[in-house]
Structure 1
Amino acid sequence: MVHASKIILRVTAFTGAGLGGWFAGKHFERQQYLNDEKDNRASIFSNVNIKNMPCLPIFGTVSAATPIVPAENQADMGAKLSVQGSRISQIMKYGFPGLDNVRSFDDYVISYDRRNRVAHWVFEHLTKERVKPNKLVDRSKCEFTPDKSIHPFFRSENSDYKGSGYDRGHLAAAGNHKLEQTHIEQTFFLSNMAPQVGRGFNRDSWNRLEKYVRTLTNVYKDVYVCTGPLYLPKREADGKKYVKYEVIGNNHVAVPTHFYKIVVGETEDHKLEMEAFVMPNAPIDDKAPLKNFQVPPESIERAAGLLFFDRIAREKLNKVNGKSVCS
């Protein structure tokens, strides 16, 4: 009996030592990974003076699909700032709506929702010169491409859309990025897409809204555009409200119930005017005026859980949805 007890104690001791070693190893691996991550972030931002980088998030991180190369001397925010960093600063001049999985491309910035496989928001900066068609840019050469900067667990694929009955609808409109071939091609990353009803919406009313936004570059020297999905509640037969939306494909890409677009135009004399739109992801009568879809900007903020253009005090806006703002 005593001999048996000794054997049990020895087995227990060896088992405990083995488990302890395994946990210690896993802890070491995790710590090493975190240290590597810390070192990587430190190397990326080692030459960046964050305080001098306007509109970059301080408490979040920007994971750039196209890397941001910091300038040698951040004190001069002019020509010495990298082209990519300078462009991001232009696009995000009036603030980030949120800091979840922010990625930057050459001509737009995106916050990606890994759970729904659709962006939270996409930000663009348009001018008359930037939306002017370039004869060397050919949209027909563009292909819908999975965004490899997104972890494969969370990205959408073309196969998700195949046979779904939905279009791969642009959030950053391809027509807004015809300055360079690379710019328009980057709008075809699937991270910039959302499932949209085709006829009556994506190809019609939503397209009208995109074209309208481009015409605003004839009115304002700078046009800032934020676009994204909404998942709005609907009252069911039992009298209760539910948020219900379809998912498509093996990756369960969420089909938004609505889409929003918030636009800020800046005049030559620096006056700011805002327009906010929400459209249902459904066929819409093409004769319906776009004004029918204008809503108070704060209603979108509440629904999306985001604050848009938070660097602009509302009392600084000259107009909202075409109406003068009382001081």
Structure 2
Amino acid sequence: MLKNFLLQFVLLFVFSPVLHAYDNSLLENCEEYIKYGTPGKSGTLLCRKGYLLAHDSERKTPIWVAEHLISKRVTGVIKRANFQPDPDLNIGKRAELIDYRGSGYDRGHMAPAGNMRWDQQAMLESFFLSNIVPQIGKDMNQGIWKELEEKIRLWTISRGELYIYTGPIYAKKPPDVIGINKVAIPTHLYKIIYDPIAIEAIAFIMPNMKLKSSDMPAYIVTIREIEKKTGLNFLSTLDTETENIVESVKAKNLWIE
């Protein structure tokens, strides 16, 4: 399994979708999510109560999703919502429920529903398909990926505050797709967790396949590696020296919960 991961990792390529530049006015209600800059300047920007994302209208998936977690946001009791197409995206430019039906893939959250228990609107919006990618279910979305999301919530409680960046990587060109709207299937998923208090980060790239949860430390990477594979630029508002250190240091193991 690890051999397959390493082989696919080597084959990754940089892709930066050419869509349109951001209108800065769209960021006004999502300032907390861009404290450390927007990772890219392409895609359709969608400001939500619990996250901010850039959406790729060709692949029908997010390019990146940014969150700001504090302890009170990960301990609420709001119930889960239902999946639905994003009402702010035009038909033909978005994923539809029928695209996932019978596909064999889970509807994998990038900003997890478990991070939205603090507010009903935030929970509802997390189920928009603009926040979703086709993800292997058993032993991935329902396994190691879910466990990583749970760890992040525990890290938020113990550390007080975290900034999270999540998204897909497409090593295959063109990517495999599902549904009549040709929703792109990522070969890998990335997640970056930045602690602004300790000024340190831990980052992951996981192949979109069945994985052993016990192997989670094997998928730890540097932020620089994610930037190379995606063409994105994270934590760009940090001073140059700090950014270079944070992004080039690879966490030696999982953070203590």
TM range (shorter): 0.7 to 0.9
Q: Aligned partners of 1:63, 1:166: CA distance in 2, in Å?
A: 36
Structure 2: where are the runs of 5+ without partners?
Answer: 1-20, 253-257
- Report whether the alignment pairs 1:302 with 2:224: no
Residue in structure 2 matched with residue 8 of structure 1 by the alignment: none
SS at match of 1:175: helix
- Report whether the alignment pairs 1:287 with 2:214: yes
Q: Report the alpha carbon displacement of residue 152 of structure 1 after superposing the two structures with TM.
A: 1.1
Residue in structure 2 matched with residue 232 of structure 1 by the alignment: 171
Residue in structure 2 matched with residue 130 of structure 1 by the alignment: 73
Q: Report the alpha carbon displacement of residue 159 of structure 1 after superposing the two structures with TM.
A: 0.2
Letter in 1 for 2:34: M
Q: Over aligned residue pairs, what C-alpha RMSD do you find?
A: 1.9
Q: Aligned partners of 1:96, 1:208: CA distance in 2, in Å?
A: 27
The equivalences for 1:152-171 within 5 A come to 152-171=91-110
CA contact (8 A) 1:62 1:102 kept: no
SS at match of 1:154: coil
- Report whether the alignment pairs 1:266 with 2:193: no
- Report whether the alignment pairs 1:312 with 2:238: yes
CA contact (8 A) 2:70 2:160 kept: yes
SS at match of 1:276: strand
Number of matched residues? 228
Q: Deviations over 1:17-37 (max 9, x none)?
A: xxxxxxxxxxxxxxxxxxxxx
Q: Aligned partners of 1:265, 1:63: CA distance in 2, in Å?
A: 27
Residue in structure 2 matched with residue 322 of structure 1 by the alignment: 251
SS at match of 1:282: coil
SS at match of 2:95: coil
> Which shows bigger deviation, 290-299 or 196-205?
290-299
- RCO comparison, higher one (Cα < 8 Å, 6+): 2
TM-score by length of 1: 0.66
CA spacing shift, 1:151–1:176, aligned 2, 3 Å: same
Residue in structure 2 matched with residue 111 of structure 1 by the alignment: 54
- Report whether the alignment pairs 1:251 with 2:181: yes
CA contact (8 A) 2:220 2:251 kept: no
Q: Aligned partners of 1:172, 1:314: CA distance in 2, in Å?
A: 28
Letter in 2 for 1:297: I
Structure number with bigger Rg: 1
Q: Deviations over 1:211-247 (max 9, x none)?
A: 11111113323200000000125xxxxxxxxx35310
Q: Report the alpha carbon displacement of residue 312 of structure 1 after superposing the two structures with TM.
A: 1.6
Q: Report the alpha carbon displacement of residue 94 of structure 1 after superposing the two structures with TM.
A: 0.5
CA spacing shift, 1:62–1:199, aligned 2, 3 Å: farther
CA spacing shift, 1:201–1:62, aligned 2, 3 Å: farther
Percent of paired sites with the same residue = 36
SS at match of 2:130: helix
Q: Which one of 257, 278, 281 corresponds to residue 205 of structure 2?
A: 278
Structure 1: where are the runs of 5+ without partners?
Answer: 1-58, 69-84, 234-242
